[in-house]
A = this chain, B = another copy of it.
C-alpha cells in the first residue's frame, strides 16, 4: 500500500500500481470524467501512469492551466499524425503547447502547404480524434530511438536524441503514430472535440537563421465546439480592439519610419487624451501631498554608474552620447530615479520635512530590438507617471499603504475593477542579479508583504521577479476580454539612497538614510493608453473621451444654432464639436458612431424653434429631445455618478 496526498491535505491509502485516473474514480465518477492530466510530486505524469511510492497527487481538468497544456500538447501529436498521413515523407521536429494552443515545426521535405489546405487537416485531425485512441508512453533505449528516426531519415529528431541521456528517453504512441516525447497527455484523442488551425509561419530549426527553414503550423483545440466558437469570437473582438488599429481610427497616435520605430508621435486627440489622464493623476497626487518636479532626459554617464543603471542597461541599450569635450559623456535616461535623488540631495532635510514625494511625467528611453516593438505596448521611448517618495523607515509602512490607495483610486476611475497583485521578491540563490545588501532587501520585502496583508489585497508571491534594485508590488488587471495586463507598480528601495548617500537629520540630531519608494500607477502613459483602448474598445469613460458630444446639423441652415449649442456646452465644460458638413444626417451619425463619440445632438428647424436638441447615445440610438441645459446636467451627472472618490 502507498499513501497518496491530495491537494486538500487528505491522504488516501491505495495499492501500489494505482493510476491517477483510478484515484479520480475512487473520489467520484464525475471527477474522473473531467480529469485530463495529473502531476505526481510536482512532475507531470500520464493519467494512466502507475504510482508506486508515497507522494502528492494533483488532478487537472480543462479549467486548469496544466490541463490545457496537456490538452494542447496532445492535440499537437494528433496534428503531426494527420500531417504525416496527408504529406508522406515530411520530417517532424518539435511541437510544444503555447499560451493559446500549440504549434509544430515541420520540414515539409518538398511538399507545400498553405492556409487553404488547413481545413482538410482539421478534418483529418477530428477523424483521428473520434477514434478515441489512448496516448501510451513507453521507454526506449537511445539506440532504439536513434534507429527509429534514422529509418525515417529525420535528422532533427536524431539531433534531439543525441543530446539526451540513455535511460531517460520515452516515446508516445497513439493510433498508428509515434513521437519522441517527455509525456503529459490527456487520456485519449476522443476528448478533443474542436480544432482550429490558425496560421502558417516560417521558423528556423533551433531558432537559428543559419539552419534550414521549417514550416510552423499554429493551432488550438477545445473539448467543446462551443468553446472554440467563443474563442474565435473573442479573437475577432480583440482584433477590432487592437490599440494600433483603434489608435489610427481615432487619430490618437502615429509612428514615422523617419523619426524611428518604437517612438510614438501623439496626434492632437491622443495628446489631449494623455493630458487629461495626466491632469487626473496630478489632481489626485496633489491631494495626496505629491510635488511635481521636472528633470532633463539625459544625465552624465557617471550619474548612471552611481545608480547602477549603466551596469544594468549599458551594453544592450542606447549608447553613451559623446560631446566635443571628450571628458563629457551623457546617457539618455532609462529611469527618472537618479535625477530625483539629485533633486532630493540639493538641500538638507530634517525628519520633520519627510516624507518628500517628488512626481514627474518623465520620458525615458530604452533600446528594444525592432522585432520586439509592438504599437504602444513595447516602445523605445515612454513617459512614466513616475514618483519617488523619500521617507523615514518608520513612515515606510504607511506611505506604502497610501500609494496602494492611490493606485486603487486610479484603477477604479478608469474602469479596471478586476485585478490581482503580485509581490516580487529576489531569488536568494542568484544574488548576482541584484544590487544592494541582502539585509536591507529582507527589510524591504517584509514591508511590502505587511502592507498588502494589512490592505487585504489578493496577492501571490513570485520569487526571483524583483527589480534589480529592490522588491516590488505589481498590479495585474484583467481587461474586458479576460486578458491579464501588468499595470501599476510600487517598489521599495534601500539601495539608491545608499548609492547617492542621501540623508536626513533625525530627531536625535544625527544623519540617517531615508527609504525610497518608486511608484507608477499607470506604469507608462503609452502602455496604459494602449491597454485602456483595448479594454474599452475606444469607448473611454465619459470624462476622458476626446470629444464627448458631436452636434450634427440637419443642414447648413442650422449652422448658427449648432454654434450656439456648442458655446453653451463649452460653458458647461463639455467637449463638443460641430459637424456642419453638407452630408446626410445618416452619414453624419454613422461617422460619429465610428469615432465612438458618446452623444450626438441633432439640430434642425424644430430644435432651433424650441431651443432644444435631439439626443442620440452611442450604440444605443435616440433618447429624446431636451434643452441644452437638461442635456448638460445629464452628462455632468453621469460623470459625477461614475466617478470614484479619493480620500486621503
A binding-site residues for B, Cβ under 8 Å: 254, 256, 258-260, 263-268, 270-272, 274-275, 291-300, 302-303, 306, 315-319, 321-325, 328, 330, 332, 338-339, 342-343, 345-347, 358, 363, 365, 367, 369-370, 381
Do B254 and A343 have beta carbons less than 8 Å apart? yes
A258 to B316, CA, bound (A): 23
Do B258 and A342 have beta carbons less than 8 Å apart? yes
**Shortest Cβ distance from A295 into B: residue:** B265
Tell me which residues across on chain B come within 8 A of A296, comparing CB atoms: 259-260, 263-265, 363, 365, 381
Distance to closest chain B CB from A219 (angstroms):
34
The answer, among B258, B259, B294, B315, for a CB contact under 8 Å with A266, is B294
Known: A321-B319, A339-B265, A343-B265. A258 touches B302 (CB 8 A): yes
Tell me which residues across on chain B come within 8 A of A365, comparing CB atoms: 296-298
A291 to B273, CA, bound (A): 12
- Interface core residue of A263, A302, A332, A381 (most chain B CB under 10 Å): A263
- Interface core residue of A275, A294, A332, A347 (most chain B CB under 10 Å): A294
Distance to closest chain B CB from A262 (angstroms):
9
Known: A265-B343, A321-B321, A323-B367. A271 touches B259 (CB 8 A): no
The answer, among B267, B330, B339, for a CB contact under 8 Å with A343, is B267
Do B256 and A268 have beta carbons less than 8 Å apart? no
Do B342 and A265 have beta carbons less than 8 Å apart? yes
Tell me which residues across on chain B come within 8 A of A324, comparing CB atoms: 315-317, 367, 369
Tell me which residues across on chain B come within 8 A of A256, comparing CB atoms: 342-343, 345-346
A260 to B298, CA, bound (A): 9
Known: A254-B343, A259-B299, A370-B325. A293 touches B265 (CB 8 A): yes
Distance to closest chain B CB from A363 (angstroms):
6
Do B363 and A297 have beta carbons less than 8 Å apart? yes
A330 to B266, CA, bound (A): 19
Do A293 and B318 have beta carbons less than 8 Å apart? no
Distance to closest chain B CB from A434 (angstroms):
23
Known: A271-B293, A292-B271. A321 touches B323 (CB 8 A): no
- Interface core residue of A266, A298, A299, A345 (most chain B CB under 10 Å): A298
Tell me which residues across on chain B come within 8 A of A270, comparing CB atoms: 294
Do B298 and A381 have beta carbons less than 8 Å apart? yes
A302 to B325, CA, bound (A): 24
Tell me which residues across on chain B come within 8 A of A298, comparing CB atoms: 260, 263, 318, 332, 365, 381
**Shortest Cβ distance from A352 into B: residue:** B581
Do B272 and A292 have beta carbons less than 8 Å apart? yes
A270 to B270, CA, bound (A): 27
22 sample A-B contacts, Cβ–Cβ < 8 Å, listed by A number? A254-B346, A256-B342, A256-B343, A258-B300, A258-B342, A259-B295, A259-B296, A259-B342, A260-B298, A265-B339, A266-B294, A271-B292, A271-B293, A296-B365, A296-B381, A297-B381, A315-B324, A316-B324, A318-B323, A321-B321, A321-B332, A332-B332
A303 to B256, CA, bound (A): 10
A354 to B400, CA, bound (A): 50
A268 to B324, CA, bound (A): 33
Tell me which residues across on chain B come within 8 A of A264, comparing CB atoms: 296
A293 to B269, CA, bound (A): 8
- Interface core residue of A259, A319, A345, A365 (most chain B CB under 10 Å): A259
Do A292 and B265 have beta carbons less than 8 Å apart? no
A486 to B293, CA, bound (A): 27
Do A358 and B268 have beta carbons less than 8 Å apart? yes
A369 to B328, CA, bound (A): 11
Tell me which residues across on chain B come within 8 A of A363, comparing CB atoms: 296-297
Do A300 and B259 have beta carbons less than 8 Å apart? yes
Do B259 and A303 have beta carbons less than 8 Å apart? yes
Do A258 and B306 have beta carbons less than 8 Å apart? yes
A263 to B302, CA, bound (A): 14
**Shortest Cβ distance from A305 into B: residue:** B258
Tell me which residues across on chain B come within 8 A of A267, comparing CB atoms: 293, 343, 346
Known: A256-B345, A265-B343, A292-B272. A297 touches B297 (CB 8 A): yes
Do B293 and A268 have beta carbons less than 8 Å apart? yes
Tell me which residues across on chain B come within 8 A of A381, comparing CB atoms: 296-298
A303 to B263, CA, bound (A): 13
**Shortest Cβ distance from A357 into B: residue:** B268
**Shortest Cβ distance from A331 into B: residue:** B321
Distance to closest chain B CB from A171 (angstroms):
42
Do B339 and A259 have beta carbons less than 8 Å apart? yes
Known: A323-B319, A323-B367. A275 touches B292 (CB 8 A): yes
A346 to B292, CA, bound (A): 33
A267 to B330, CA, bound (A): 22
Known: A258-B306, A302-B258. A295 touches B319 (CB 8 A): no
Distance to closest chain B CB from A475 (angstroms):
25
Do A300 and B260 have beta carbons less than 8 Å apart? yes
**Shortest Cβ distance from A303 into B: residue:** B258
Tell me which residues across on chain B come within 8 A of A370, comparing CB atoms: 325, 328
A322 to B331, CA, bound (A): 11
A254 to B348, CA, bound (A): 13
Distance to closest chain B CB from A446 (angstroms):
31
A299 to B332, CA, bound (A): 12
